[in-house]
Amino acid sequence: MITKEIIINKFKEIQSEICQKLEQLDTKSTFSVEPWQHHSGGGGITRVIQNGNIFEKGGVNFSAVEGTLPDKIKNALKVEETAFFATGISIVIHPENPFHPIIHMNIRYFELADGTYWFGGGIDLTPIYVDANEAKFFHTELKKVCDEFDSSFYPKFKTWADNYFFIDHRNETRGIGGVFFDRLNDKSTALTKEKIFDFVCKLGLSFAPTYIKIIENKGLNPNCSPDNKKWQYVRRGRYVEFNLVYDKGTKFGLDTNGRTESILMSMPPQANWVYNFQVLPSSNESFTQENLKKDIQWI
Amino acid sequence: MITKEIIINKFKEIQSEICQKLEQLDTKSTFSVEPWQHHSGGGGITRVIQNGNIFEKGGVNFSAVEGTLPDKIKNALKVEETAFFATGISIVIHPENPFHPIIHMNIRYFELADGTYWFGGGIDLTPIYVDANEAKFFHTELKKVCDEFDSSFYPKFKTWADNYFFIDHRNETRGIGGVFFDRLNDKSTALTKEKIFDFVCKLGLSFAPTYIKIIENKGLNPNCSPDNKKWQYVRRGRYVEFNLVYDKGTKFGLDTNGRTESILMSMPPQANWVYNFQVLPSSNESFTQENLKKDIQWI
């Protein structure tokens, strides 16, 4: 029997393990530890790393909160019950070097007082410079975790990520996608609650080794030019646009009066907006721009 | 009889006059001129200044578009008719120096095929460092324009601005406010359509002299420290948050598939997010933070 307490404890454990592994890679900065309370019940532990060797700014947030759904969210979720419990880990990492991609990971569990529950989550990668080999490796690692549980998961969740991490007003994806899923339970899948929980945890635990390997493959400190940095700041601006205009987790957090600093730890340390920025033809930037679209099979 | 054409021509004239005056002050950079077409009819002229002596990035946008309201907006506006015409000028200026405030101005006219119309608009100031004298001058200038038409306008529109330019998740106002109004017509005010149009134009024309005076009062290039710049980037981050999370004009533009670069010309050239940024007690930054609240009578 998977109880809230079991999920909470396991998620906290995963949070610690991820922070420890990222600190080992960074060697300079460590994660702060900030416990906080939610006004309507529960709370969380926000862990942030800033100004590291590798990580310019990164947050690994754990939360477990109780509350009442505002009407807006209740209607959006199409549920009747309003007393909710939600727990999850949410990560966004902004590396300093433009050749190291931004990454996001989230695993979450949601339960209503009437017993309805579901798991959700995802991992997606936002390279400043798209690299087909890196994208292939990343998607292969995700597929491995998915395939262990259900061979339909990867193709389904990959498409879901393409559609979810999409910046409509730019007509471009946020990055090269990954997996995204929501409302997984014993009715919507062929798995038991225990199995889905296991899947979500394994996905969460795959985050650190996969991301660390991606960084090591690029080298810890690849050479970069001022133009590379400029492009990084522009791409980060798009990341801000996605998170503030479209991201459901951000909206949910702000709409339920969550802790703003924990919700917006996903914001990059610096972002720039240049009016009508155009990439040069046949440049690495234009290769990236051309690959910010749905339905690319990276594997 | 105030026709669409009269409004369009006057708004274009105001756009030109404002750009000319700001260029005279800047002396280094000039406004680009970019005409564009809207997919559903009409278009606009986007004028942007970048990397000037005074203005790091500023946009003065004119648009006059026709289209069909998406359901979402139709419901939000509580109207039946969906065929619309909208024209307006929208300005956001991000000066380079942290002692020069960010400013925003918008005047707009909206009409439905069934004859319903209204004017809206506003001017508000977002100082990086709040200065009581500057705030008093700014509000006094706005009040003068309002009082010429209706003595109830300034107090009403000042409160409206306090409520509109509010960053809920930060529990702070965007800046020191100004005036904001919407849905002004011969039913909602004691004025004729001609008079309201006149008010809106006079407000638009007051923008450049008022803003230029504010900058001249501070000096064209006041000394600033790296800490002043850091604070400026943090404040600009809040500006981004307001525009992408709350601003109705931005939402309207994005939801009606407007020209993204024209809508998001309001984004600052650079913004930073520092996790859990805290101002020092008794600093100029803390004075600013304390004054980012509603209902301050600056005059």
Residues of A with Cβ-Cβ distance to B32 under 8 angstroms: 275
Average pLDDT of chain A, as a whole number = 96
Cβ contact, residue pair A260, B169, below 8 Å? yes
pLDDT in tens, B144-177: 999 999 999 999 999 999 999 999 999 999 999 9
Indicate the SS3 state at residue B103.
strand
Distance CA B192, CA B187 (A): 9
pLDDT in tens, A249-267: 898 888 888 899 999 999 9
Nearest-by-Cβ selection for B267 from A48, A59, A237: A237
pLDDT band at residue B41 under the 50/70/90 scheme: confident
pLDDT band at residue A73 under the 50/70/90 scheme: confident
pLDDT in tens, A20-72: 999 999 999 999 999 999 888 889 999 999 999 999 999 999 999 998 988 88
Residues of B with Cβ-Cβ distance to A168 under 8 angstroms: 254
Cβ contact, residue pair B48, A275, below 8 Å? yes
| Orientation angle between helical segments A4-26 and A193-218, nearest 10 degrees | 10
Interstrand relation of A166-167 and A172-173 (parallel, antiparallel or unpaired): antiparallel
pLDDT in tens, B26-40: 999 999 999 999 888
- What is the pLDDT averaged over residues B135-142? 98
Q: What percent of chain B has pLDDT over 90?
A: 89
How many CB atoms lie under 10 A from the CB of residue B87? 22
Nearest to B127 by CA among B89, B88, B182, B178: B178
Listed as own residue / partner, the contacts of A234-237 with beta carbons closer than 8 Å and 24 or more positions apart are A234/A272, A234/A273, A234/A274, A234/A277, A235/A102, A235/A126, A235/A128, A235/A288, A236/A94, A236/A102, A236/A268, A236/A270, A236/A271, A236/A272, A237/A271, A237/A272, A237/A273, A237/B267
End-to-end CA distance of chain A: give it in Å, rounded: 37
Q: Chain A to chain B, count of Cβ pairs less than 8 Å apart?
A: 80
Nearest to A204 by CA among A285, A128, A120: A120
Can you give the pLDDT at residue A109?
Answer: 97
| Residue A265 near residue A61 (C-beta atoms within 8 A) | yes
Give the residue numbers in B contacting A (CB under 8 Å), as ranges.
Answer: 32, 34, 48, 50, 57, 59, 168-170, 233, 237, 240-241, 244-245, 254, 257, 260-261, 263-265, 267-276
Cβ contact, residue pair A264, B241, below 8 Å? yes
Identify the residue whose tokens are 């638009």.
B204
Could you give the ipTM of this predicted complex? 0.95
| Residue A237 near residue B237 (C-beta atoms within 8 A) | no
Can you give the pLDDT at residue A72?
Answer: 84
Cα B48 to chain centroid, rounded: 15
C-alpha distances in angstroms, B166 versus A42, A222, B124, B142?
28, 42, 12, 19
The amino acid occupying position A231 is W
Can you give the pLDDT at residue B258?
Answer: 85
Indicate the SS3 state at residue A263.
helix
Nearest to A103 by CA among A177, A159, A34, A173: A177
Can you give the pLDDT at residue B256?
Answer: 80
Can you give the pLDDT at residue A258?
Answer: 85
A35 DSSP β-pair partners? A45
The amino acid occupying position B60 is V
How many CB atoms lie under 10 A from the CB of residue B213? 14
Can you give the pLDDT at residue B39?
Answer: 82
- What is the pLDDT averaged over residues B43-53? 96
pLDDT in tens, B56-87: 999 999 999 998 988 888 888 888 898 999 99
Nearest to A136 by CA among A176, A169, A172, A101: A176
Q: What one-character-per-residue DSSP string does A41-93 give?
A: SEEEEEEEEES-SSEEEEEEEEEEEEEE--HHHHHHHT-S--EEEEEEEEEEE
Element (H, E) at B185: none
Q: What percent of chain B has pLDDT over 70?
A: 100
Cite the active site residues of B.
Answer: 104
Beta-strand ranges (E) seen in B101-208 are 102-112, 117-126, 166-167, 172-173, 178-184
Can you give the pLDDT at residue B64?
Answer: 95
Q: Look at residue B201 and tell me whether its pLDDT is greater than 90.
A: yes
CA dihedral B74, B77, B82, B83 (to 10 degrees): -140
The residues near A272 (Cβ < 8 Å, ≥ 6 apart) are A230, A233, A234, A236, A237, B269, B270, B271
Distance CA A177, CA A161 (A): 6
